């Protein structure tokens, strides 16, 4: 397929740059006491809602971003995939569902290898996020593999479970653990296999770091899962109940690491030579670092103390360029011909910028799950280091620093297109701290205001949107009781096209459904190019003169 772009006959683009601003986690919902967006002081967003002539809403969840059903929340990864790809592709959850339903997963050489280890004296270990949030993992995927492993004769199975409270209710771990223990009891009785929960901890404290933000999170996971070194308990339920009792305000994602021991205090199942390990999360960003710890012989991020000789695999390949991990059970989506590839083929210079927490989203995920640049001569990527403090303690995060760096990039006058992500609405929204989320939205509003005005002064265009909802719904009320909501939402997201030189050259197109997949074609149109044939329709219809 040729990547050659065709010029739009009726619109050459503006002389200034096109800037895409992604307000991560800032969705749309009716005003309520839990809506941090409407309760924030947002003069810029208010101005855009009242006066922007070209605005709409976009669907950012479910099948609109490649998820299995309309009850599935969107997330930053699938959102940026859709934004950069210009079309909808089946994502991790859908691909794993199909591989399990067809049985293809269990016919792979990788499954045969890991299962064989559990039949020949070793232990088959499962590490991953225990929830049905369907963002990083799904409990049903774990249960299907456990049933199959036990049925085909795997004798020793150990679970190392990361507790969620982020993509699901903040204190829901005990329910998921009860379901898991019930299944383990069933498997033990039916197949006489030795299966147990061996270790765990909250996802934001144990194992699931990303973008090299804090390797100590991975180190704590390694110590618990591999070395059997963490606070000890006789059961996972006892661990969670103890943590709840000791810190009444703590939520599942922040629970410390724990190890399950027998009656004499010996860890039940640390990972040792001859074992096999499946990391059962399907999403890549928080799976890469622990995969590196298992697979890399030369490793310097923390002291592993020992590296067991195991067969390690991921649910999917988490990085296609770096081939992490080497073994995997389900092939990830292959996303080719992204908007970045088209821009580079046309010789257009572009930049991408965010802080560490979302840097991979405007680069790796935007580029179709590929590391590195499409063309280093035409692209500039800027990462602003994130602070290593709880996000609700500094809700402004790095918004001001990102804004300053973006303005400097724009003033250089050499880029036709730029994309910037402000992580505040998502990362602070996940903490469940309403007042902090309000401050986060206000920080993003200030940043958007400065950048939109900067681009307008340069006779360019700014497209402002979000990749999914989050902080517009910070708690839910049921039967008169209020509970914190830390997960993403099913709400639509805003979309504003700010063009100070607009003279009616284009209007919003009449589309049956508008989603994130329509954005890439829109960007190319605003740069003066026709959309590629395979892309979803543009949000705009251009008028002939």
Task: Annotate 88-149 with three-state secondary structure.
Answer: CCCCHHHHHHHHHHHCHHHHCHHHHHHHHHHHCCCCEEEEEEECCCCCCCCHHHHHHHHHHH
**18-90+334-542 and 93-330 share one fold:** no
d(CA 466, CA 353): 15
pLDDT of residue 405: 98
Give CA separation, 303 vs 228, 293, 300, 443, 486, in Å: 15, 10, 7, 38, 33
Q: What is the spatial distance between Cα 340 and Cα 349, in angstroms, rounded to a whole number?
A: 10
Which of 70, 57, 71, 65 is CA-nearest to residue 88? 65
Above 60 in pLDDT, residue 58?
yes
According to DSSP, the residues that pair with 335 across neighbouring strands are: none
Positions annotated as catalytic residues are 76
- Alpha-carbon distance 537 to 514, whole Å? 9
* Domain coordinates in residue numbering, the chain: 18-90+334-542, 93-330
Q: pLDDT, tens digit, for every residue of 196-237?
A: 999 999 999 999 998 788 999 999 999 999 999 999 999 999
Calculate the average pLDDT of the chain.
Answer: 95
What confidence tens digit (pLDDT) does each residue in 506-515 have? 999 999 899 9
Residues forming a β-bridge with 496 = 55, 464
pLDDT band at 384 (very low <50, low <70, confident <90, very high): very high
Q: pLDDT grade, residue 321 (50/70/90)?
A: low
Please give the pLDDT value at position 320: 62
pLDDT higher than 70, residue 545: no
| Dihedral sign for Cα atoms in the order 186, 192, 198, 204 | negative
Q: Is the pLDDT score of 172 beyond 80? A: yes
What is the rounded distance in angstroms from the CA atom of residue 95 to the CA atom of residue 196?
Answer: 28
If you average pLDDT over each of 26-35, 83-92, 485-494, which comes out highest? Answer: 26-35
CATH H superfamily, domain 18-90+334-542:
Alkaline Phosphatase, subunit A (3.40.720.10)
Q: Answer with the residue of higher pLDDT: 9 or 318.
A: 9
Q: How confident is the model at residue 525 (pLDDT cuts 50, 70, 90)?
A: very high
Tell me the per-residue pLDDT of 322-370, one tens digit each, with 9 for 90 and over: 788 999 999 877 789 999 999 999 999 999 999 999 999 999 999 998 8
In angstroms, the Cα distances linking 444 to 24, 55, 323, 454, 528 are: 9, 19, 35, 15, 29
Please list the alpha-helical segments (H only) found in 430-497. 434-457
Measured CA to CA, the distance from residue 24 to residue 216 in angstroms comes to 26
How many helices, marked H, and strands, marked E, lie in the chain? 16, 19
User: Model confidence over 288-302: pLDDT tens digits?
Assistant: 999 999 999 999 999
Q: Name the percent of the chain lying above pLDDT 90.
A: 87
Instruction: Provide the pLDDT confidence category of residue 75 given band limits of 50, 70 and 90.
Output: confident
* Topology (CATH level 3) of domain 93-330: 3.40.1450
């Amino acid at each position: 397929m040729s990547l050659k772009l065709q010029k739009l006959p009726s619109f050459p683009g503006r002389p200034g740059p096109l800037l895409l601003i992604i307000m991560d986690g800032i969705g749309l919902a009716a005003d309520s006491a839990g809506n941090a967006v409407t309760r924030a002081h947002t003069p810029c967003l208010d101005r855009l809602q009242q006066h922007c002539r070209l605005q709409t809403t976009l669907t950012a969840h479910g099948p609109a971003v490649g998820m299995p059903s309309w009850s599935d929340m969107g997330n930053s990864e699938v959102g940026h995939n859709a934004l950069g790809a210009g079309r909808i592709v089946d994502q991790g959850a859908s691909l794993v569902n199909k591989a399990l339903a067809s049985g293809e997963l269990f016919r792979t050489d990788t499954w045969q290898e890991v299962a064989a280890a559990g039949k020949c004296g070793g232990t088959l270990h499962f590490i991953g996020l225990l929830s049905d949030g369907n963002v990083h993992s799904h409990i049903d995927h774990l249960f299907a593999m456990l049933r199959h492993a036990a049925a085909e004769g795997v004798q020793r199975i150990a679970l190392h479970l990361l507790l969620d409270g982020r993509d699901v209710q903040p204190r829901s771990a005990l329910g998921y653990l009860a379901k898991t223990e019930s299944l383990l009891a069933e498997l033990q009785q039916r197949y006489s296999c030795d299966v147990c929960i061996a270790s765990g901890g909250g996802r934001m404290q144990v194992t699931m770091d990303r973008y090299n933000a804090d390797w100590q999170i991975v180190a704590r996971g390694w110590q618990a899962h591999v070395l059997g070194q963490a606070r000890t308990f006789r059961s996972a339920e006892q661990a969670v109940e103890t943590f709840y009792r000791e810190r009444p305000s703590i939520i599942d994602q922040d629970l410390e690491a724990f190890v399950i021991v027998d009656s004499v205090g010996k860890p039940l199942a640390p990972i040792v030579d001859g074992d096999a390990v499946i990391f059962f999360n399907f999403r890549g960003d928080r799976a890469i670092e622990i995969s590196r710890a298992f697979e890399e012989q030369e490793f310097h991020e923390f002291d592993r103390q020992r590296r067991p000789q195991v067969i390690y695999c991921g649910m999917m390949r988490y990085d296609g360029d770096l081939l992490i991990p080497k073994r995997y059970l389900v092939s990830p989506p292959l996303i080719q011909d992204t908007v970045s590839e088209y821009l580079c083929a046309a010789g257009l210079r572009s930049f991408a910028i965010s802080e560490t927490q979302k840097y991979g989203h405007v680069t790796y995920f935007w580029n179709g799950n590929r590391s590195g640049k499409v063309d280093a001569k035409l692209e500039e990527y800027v990462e602003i280091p994130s602070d290593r403090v709880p996000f609700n303690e500094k809700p402004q995060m790095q918004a001001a620093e990102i804004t300053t760096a973006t303005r400097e990039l724009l003033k250089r006058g050499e880029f036709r297109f730029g994309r910037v992500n402000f992580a505040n609405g998502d990362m602070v929204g996940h903490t469940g701290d309403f007042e902090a989320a309000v401050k986060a939205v206000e920080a993003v509003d200030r940043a958007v205001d400065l950048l939109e005005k900067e681009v307008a002064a340069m006779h360019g265009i700014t497209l402002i949107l979000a990749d999914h909802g989050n902080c517009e719904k910070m708690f839910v009320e049921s039967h008169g009781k209020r509970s914190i909501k830390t997960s993403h939402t099913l709400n639509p997201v805003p979309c504003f096209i700010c063009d100070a030189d607009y003279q009616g050259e284009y209007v919003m197109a009449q589309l049956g459904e508008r989603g994130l997949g329509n954005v890439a074609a829109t960007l190319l149109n605003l740069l003066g190019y026709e959309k590629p044939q395979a892309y979803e329709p543009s949000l705009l219809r251009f008028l002939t003169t």
